Protein backbone atom coordinates (compact mmCIF):
# COMPACT_ATOMS: atom_id res chain seq x y z
CA UNK A 1 0.00 0.00 0.00
CA UNK A 2 2.82 2.37 0.96
CA UNK A 3 4.59 1.66 -2.34
CA UNK A 4 1.42 2.46 -4.29
CA UNK A 5 1.07 5.75 -2.36
CA UNK A 6 4.69 6.72 -3.12
CA UNK A 7 4.25 5.86 -6.80
CA UNK A 8 1.04 7.94 -6.92
CA UNK A 9 2.82 10.86 -5.22
CA UNK A 10 5.59 10.93 -7.81
CA UNK A 11 3.09 10.66 -10.67
CA UNK A 12 1.27 13.73 -9.35
CA UNK A 13 4.45 15.73 -8.64
CA UNK A 14 4.86 18.64 -11.00
CA UNK A 15 7.71 18.44 -13.48
CA UNK A 16 10.09 21.37 -12.74
CA UNK A 17 10.83 23.98 -15.40
CA UNK A 18 14.48 23.59 -16.38
CA UNK A 19 15.80 27.15 -16.45
CA UNK A 20 19.35 28.11 -17.49
CA UNK A 21 20.64 31.64 -16.86
CA UNK A 22 23.95 33.23 -17.75
CA UNK A 23 24.56 35.18 -14.52
CA UNK A 24 23.68 34.83 -10.82
CA UNK A 25 21.76 38.13 -10.68
CA UNK A 26 19.32 36.71 -13.25
CA UNK A 27 18.95 33.53 -11.18
CA UNK A 28 18.09 35.60 -8.12
CA UNK A 29 15.17 37.35 -9.87
CA UNK A 30 14.08 34.11 -11.59
CA UNK A 31 13.81 32.45 -8.14
CA UNK A 32 11.68 35.33 -6.87
CA UNK A 33 9.17 34.98 -9.72
CA UNK A 34 9.38 31.27 -10.50
CA UNK A 35 9.19 30.09 -6.90
CA UNK A 36 9.66 26.42 -6.14
CA UNK A 37 8.78 24.86 -9.50
CA UNK A 38 12.12 25.60 -11.14
CA UNK A 39 15.38 23.75 -11.62
CA UNK A 40 17.95 26.51 -12.19
CA UNK A 41 21.43 26.23 -13.70
CA UNK A 42 23.76 29.25 -13.65
CA UNK A 43 26.52 29.37 -16.26
CA UNK A 44 28.87 31.62 -14.21
CA UNK A 45 29.74 31.99 -10.55
CA UNK A 46 29.53 35.74 -9.88
CA UNK A 47 33.22 36.33 -9.20
CA UNK A 48 34.30 35.94 -12.82
CA UNK A 49 34.70 38.67 -15.40
CA UNK A 50 31.23 38.54 -17.00
CA UNK A 51 32.80 39.08 -20.42
CA UNK A 52 35.10 36.08 -20.09
CA UNK A 53 33.29 33.23 -18.34
CA UNK A 54 34.97 29.83 -18.74
CA UNK A 55 32.63 27.74 -20.97
CA UNK A 56 32.77 24.44 -19.07
CA UNK A 57 31.79 21.38 -21.17
CA UNK A 58 29.60 20.19 -18.29
CA UNK A 59 27.22 23.07 -19.05
CA UNK A 60 26.43 21.74 -22.52
CA UNK A 61 24.25 18.97 -21.08
CA UNK A 62 22.36 21.50 -18.93
CA UNK A 63 21.67 23.65 -21.99
CA UNK A 64 20.63 20.58 -23.98
CA UNK A 65 17.89 19.84 -21.44
CA UNK A 66 16.84 23.49 -20.88
CA UNK A 67 13.21 24.52 -21.23
CA UNK A 68 14.21 28.19 -21.32
CA UNK A 69 17.40 30.28 -21.31
CA UNK A 70 17.58 33.82 -19.88
CA UNK A 71 20.57 35.92 -20.89
CA UNK A 72 21.76 39.47 -20.12
CA UNK A 73 22.25 40.17 -23.82
CA UNK A 74 23.79 43.28 -25.41
CA UNK A 75 26.68 40.97 -26.42
CA UNK A 76 27.91 40.52 -22.83
CA UNK A 77 27.92 36.71 -23.25
CA UNK A 78 29.34 36.76 -26.78
CA UNK A 79 32.73 35.41 -25.64
CA UNK A 80 31.43 32.16 -24.17
CA UNK A 81 27.75 31.42 -24.80
CA UNK A 82 27.43 30.93 -28.60
CA UNK A 83 29.69 27.82 -28.71
CA UNK A 84 27.86 26.30 -25.74
CA UNK A 85 24.47 26.81 -27.42
CA UNK A 86 25.75 25.40 -30.69
CA UNK A 87 27.10 22.26 -29.05
CA UNK A 88 23.96 21.80 -26.93
CA UNK A 89 21.89 21.69 -30.15
CA UNK A 90 18.63 22.38 -28.31
CA UNK A 91 16.13 23.95 -30.77
CA UNK A 92 14.18 25.53 -27.90
CA UNK A 93 17.06 27.91 -27.05
CA UNK A 94 18.75 28.45 -30.39
CA UNK A 95 19.20 32.12 -31.47
CA UNK A 96 15.86 33.54 -32.54
CA UNK A 97 13.82 30.91 -30.70
CA UNK A 98 10.91 31.76 -28.40
CA UNK A 99 12.61 30.40 -25.29
CA UNK A 100 15.90 32.26 -25.54
CA UNK A 101 15.07 35.42 -23.61
CA UNK A 102 17.43 38.37 -24.09
CA UNK A 103 16.62 40.64 -21.13
CA UNK A 104 18.47 43.61 -22.63
CA UNK A 105 15.56 43.92 -25.06
CA UNK A 106 13.46 45.31 -22.21
CA UNK A 107 15.96 48.10 -21.41
CA UNK A 108 16.91 51.39 -22.99
CA UNK A 109 20.68 51.01 -23.13
CA UNK A 110 23.08 53.92 -22.74
CA UNK A 111 26.57 54.57 -24.20
CA UNK A 112 25.70 53.40 -27.70
CA UNK A 113 28.90 53.79 -29.77
CA UNK A 114 28.92 56.12 -32.76
CA UNK A 115 31.21 53.69 -34.54
CA UNK A 116 32.14 50.06 -33.93
CA UNK A 117 35.83 49.33 -34.28
CA UNK A 118 38.32 47.07 -32.53
CA UNK A 119 40.50 50.17 -32.17
CA UNK A 120 37.96 51.40 -29.60
CA UNK A 121 38.48 48.31 -27.39
CA UNK A 122 35.83 45.75 -26.41
CA UNK A 123 32.83 47.90 -27.12
CA UNK A 124 29.29 46.61 -27.48
CA UNK A 125 27.38 47.77 -30.58
CA UNK A 126 24.04 47.69 -28.72
CA UNK A 127 25.25 49.94 -25.90
CA UNK A 128 26.60 49.43 -22.38
CA UNK A 129 25.55 45.91 -21.28
CA UNK A 130 25.84 46.50 -17.50
CA UNK A 131 22.28 47.83 -17.23
CA UNK A 132 21.50 45.44 -14.36
CA UNK A 133 23.60 47.65 -12.06
CA UNK A 134 20.83 50.24 -12.17
CA UNK A 135 18.23 49.48 -9.52
CA UNK A 136 15.77 51.42 -11.68
CA UNK A 137 15.97 48.68 -14.33
CA UNK A 138 14.98 45.82 -12.00
CA UNK A 139 11.21 46.00 -12.71
CA UNK A 140 11.82 45.74 -16.47
CA UNK A 141 14.20 42.81 -16.01
CA UNK A 142 11.63 41.08 -13.78
CA UNK A 143 8.92 41.74 -16.36
CA UNK A 144 11.01 40.00 -19.03
CA UNK A 145 11.47 37.00 -16.75
CA UNK A 146 7.76 36.89 -15.93
CA UNK A 147 6.84 36.85 -19.61
CA UNK A 148 9.40 34.11 -20.30
CA UNK A 149 8.16 31.84 -17.52
CA UNK A 150 4.52 32.28 -18.58
CA UNK A 151 5.48 31.34 -22.15
CA UNK A 152 6.94 28.05 -20.90
CA UNK A 153 4.09 27.16 -18.55
CA UNK A 154 1.01 29.31 -19.28
CA UNK A 155 -1.16 27.34 -16.85
CA UNK A 156 0.96 28.81 -13.99
CA UNK A 157 0.36 32.42 -15.05
CA UNK A 158 -1.50 33.38 -11.88
CA UNK A 159 1.24 31.86 -9.67
CA UNK A 160 4.01 33.72 -11.53
CA UNK A 161 2.06 37.00 -11.57
CA UNK A 162 1.48 36.83 -7.81
CA UNK A 163 5.18 36.22 -7.24
CA UNK A 164 6.01 39.12 -9.56
CA UNK A 165 3.72 41.43 -7.57
CA UNK A 166 5.42 40.35 -4.34
CA UNK A 167 8.82 41.02 -5.92
CA UNK A 168 7.77 44.51 -7.04
CA UNK A 169 6.42 45.25 -3.56
CA UNK A 170 9.78 44.27 -2.00
CA UNK A 171 11.56 46.30 -4.66
CA UNK A 172 9.50 49.44 -3.98
CA UNK A 173 10.32 49.22 -0.27
CA UNK A 174 14.01 48.74 -0.98
CA UNK A 175 13.99 51.52 -3.55
CA UNK A 176 12.96 54.02 -0.85
CA UNK A 177 15.85 52.84 1.35
CA UNK A 178 18.36 53.06 -1.50
CA UNK A 179 17.23 56.52 -2.54
CA UNK A 180 17.56 57.74 1.05
CA UNK A 181 21.14 56.45 1.06
CA UNK A 182 21.86 58.13 -2.28
CA UNK A 183 20.64 61.46 -0.87
CA UNK A 184 23.05 61.06 2.05
CA UNK A 185 25.94 60.24 -0.30
CA UNK A 186 25.18 63.36 -2.35
CA UNK A 187 27.68 64.54 -4.93
CA UNK A 188 30.31 61.94 -5.71
CA UNK A 189 32.92 61.53 -8.41
CA UNK A 190 34.11 58.10 -9.51
CA UNK A 191 37.20 56.75 -11.20
CA UNK A 192 36.09 53.32 -12.38
CA UNK A 193 38.30 50.48 -13.58
CA UNK A 194 36.03 49.31 -16.41
CA UNK A 195 32.97 50.96 -17.97
CA UNK A 196 30.93 48.92 -15.48
CA UNK A 197 29.15 51.39 -13.22
CA UNK A 198 27.77 53.95 -15.71
CA UNK A 199 24.16 53.02 -14.94
CA UNK A 200 24.85 53.22 -11.20
CA UNK A 201 26.40 56.66 -11.71
CA UNK A 202 23.33 57.74 -13.66
CA UNK A 203 21.03 56.60 -10.83
CA UNK A 204 23.06 58.52 -8.24
CA UNK A 205 23.92 61.55 -10.38
CA UNK A 206 27.59 60.66 -9.85
CA UNK A 207 30.25 61.98 -12.19
CA UNK A 208 32.56 59.46 -13.89
CA UNK A 209 35.85 61.37 -13.89
CA UNK A 210 37.96 58.74 -15.67
CA UNK A 211 38.50 55.03 -16.27
CA UNK A 212 41.58 52.98 -15.41
CA UNK A 213 41.17 51.05 -18.65
CA UNK A 214 42.01 53.57 -21.39
CA UNK A 215 39.45 51.76 -23.57
CA UNK A 216 37.10 48.92 -22.56
CA UNK A 217 39.06 45.70 -22.04
CA UNK A 218 42.44 47.35 -22.68
CA UNK A 219 44.93 47.22 -19.76
CA UNK A 220 46.24 50.61 -18.58
CA UNK A 221 49.72 51.85 -19.42
CA UNK A 222 51.95 53.68 -16.95
CA UNK A 223 51.36 56.89 -18.88
CA UNK A 224 47.57 56.50 -18.65
CA UNK A 225 47.82 56.06 -14.86
CA UNK A 226 49.97 59.18 -14.60
CA UNK A 227 47.45 61.10 -16.73
CA UNK A 228 44.70 60.13 -14.26
CA UNK A 229 46.88 61.15 -11.30
CA UNK A 230 47.42 64.60 -12.82
CA UNK A 231 43.77 64.94 -13.79
CA UNK A 232 42.30 64.26 -10.32
CA UNK A 233 44.90 66.16 -8.31
CA UNK A 234 43.18 68.35 -5.73
CA UNK A 235 39.66 67.00 -6.40
CA UNK A 236 37.35 66.18 -3.48
CA UNK A 237 34.43 63.78 -2.97
CA UNK A 238 35.97 61.19 -5.23
CA UNK A 239 36.39 57.40 -5.02
CA UNK A 240 38.15 54.77 -7.11
CA UNK A 241 35.80 51.84 -7.79
CA UNK A 242 36.55 48.41 -9.19
CA UNK A 243 35.10 44.89 -9.30
CA UNK A 244 36.52 41.75 -7.67
CA UNK A 245 38.05 40.47 -10.90
CA UNK A 246 39.86 43.74 -11.76
CA UNK A 247 43.62 44.08 -11.18
CA UNK A 248 43.74 45.05 -7.51
CA UNK A 249 47.44 46.00 -7.69
CA UNK A 250 46.71 48.70 -10.27
CA UNK A 251 43.80 49.99 -8.19
CA UNK A 252 45.97 50.15 -5.05
CA UNK A 253 48.79 51.84 -6.93
CA UNK A 254 46.46 54.55 -8.23
CA UNK A 255 45.00 54.98 -4.74
CA UNK A 256 48.48 55.41 -3.23
CA UNK A 257 49.55 57.92 -5.88
CA UNK A 258 46.42 60.05 -5.56
CA UNK A 259 45.53 59.56 -1.89
CA UNK A 260 42.00 58.68 -3.06
CA UNK A 261 40.20 55.87 -1.27
CA UNK A 262 39.32 52.83 -3.36
CA UNK A 263 36.39 50.50 -2.92
CA UNK A 264 35.64 47.12 -4.48
CA UNK A 265 31.97 47.01 -5.43
CA UNK A 266 29.99 43.85 -6.15
CA UNK A 267 29.16 43.52 -9.83
CA UNK A 268 26.88 40.49 -9.48
CA UNK A 269 25.19 38.28 -6.91
CA UNK A 270 27.81 36.04 -5.20
CA UNK A 271 30.68 38.35 -6.21
CA UNK A 272 31.19 39.15 -2.51
CA UNK A 273 30.25 36.88 0.40
CA UNK A 274 27.55 39.24 1.72
CA UNK A 275 25.82 39.53 -1.67
CA UNK A 276 23.34 36.65 -1.61
CA UNK A 277 20.57 38.02 -3.86
CA UNK A 278 19.55 40.97 -6.02
CA UNK A 279 18.50 43.08 -3.03
CA UNK A 280 21.72 42.58 -1.06
CA UNK A 281 23.63 43.39 -4.27
CA UNK A 282 22.36 46.98 -4.13
CA UNK A 283 22.41 47.10 -0.30
CA UNK A 284 26.14 46.33 -0.45
CA UNK A 285 26.90 48.74 -3.30
CA UNK A 286 25.30 51.68 -1.50
CA UNK A 287 26.80 50.70 1.88
CA UNK A 288 30.29 50.62 0.40
CA UNK A 289 29.83 53.93 -1.40
CA UNK A 290 28.67 55.48 1.89
CA UNK A 291 31.73 54.42 3.87
pLDDT > 80? residue 1:
no
Which tens digits make up the pLDDT trace of 151-192? 999 999 999 999 999 999 999 999 999 999 999 999 999 999
Residue 232 pLDDT grade (very low, low, confident, very high; cuts 50, 70, 90): very high
pTM of this prediction?
Answer: 0.93
Q: Strands 238-242 and 262-264: what pairing?
A: parallel
Residue 126 pLDDT grade (very low, low, confident, very high; cuts 50, 70, 90): very high
How far is residue 64's CA from residue 87's CA, in Å, rounded to a whole number?
8
How far is residue 96's CA from residue 119's CA, in Å, rounded to a whole number?
30
Q: Does residue 217 come out as left (phi exceeding 0), alpha (psi in the -120 to 50 range) or beta?
A: left
Average pLDDT of the chain? 94
How far is residue 70's CA from residue 20's CA, in Å, rounded to a whole number?
6
Q: What is the DSSP string of 190-228?
A: EEESSTT-HHHHHHHT-EEEEESSSSTTPPPPHHHHHHH
- The secondary structure of residue 234, as a DSSP letter, is T
How many residues comprise the chain? Answer: 291
Amino acid sequence: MLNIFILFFFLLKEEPIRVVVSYPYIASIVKEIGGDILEITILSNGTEDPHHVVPKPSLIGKLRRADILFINGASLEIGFLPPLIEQANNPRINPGSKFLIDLSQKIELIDKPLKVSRAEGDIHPEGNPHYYLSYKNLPKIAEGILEGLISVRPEKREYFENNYKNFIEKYENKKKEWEDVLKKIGSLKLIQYHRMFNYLAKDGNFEIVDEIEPKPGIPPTAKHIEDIVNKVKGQNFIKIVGAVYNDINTIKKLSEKTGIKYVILPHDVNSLSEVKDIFSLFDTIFKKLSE
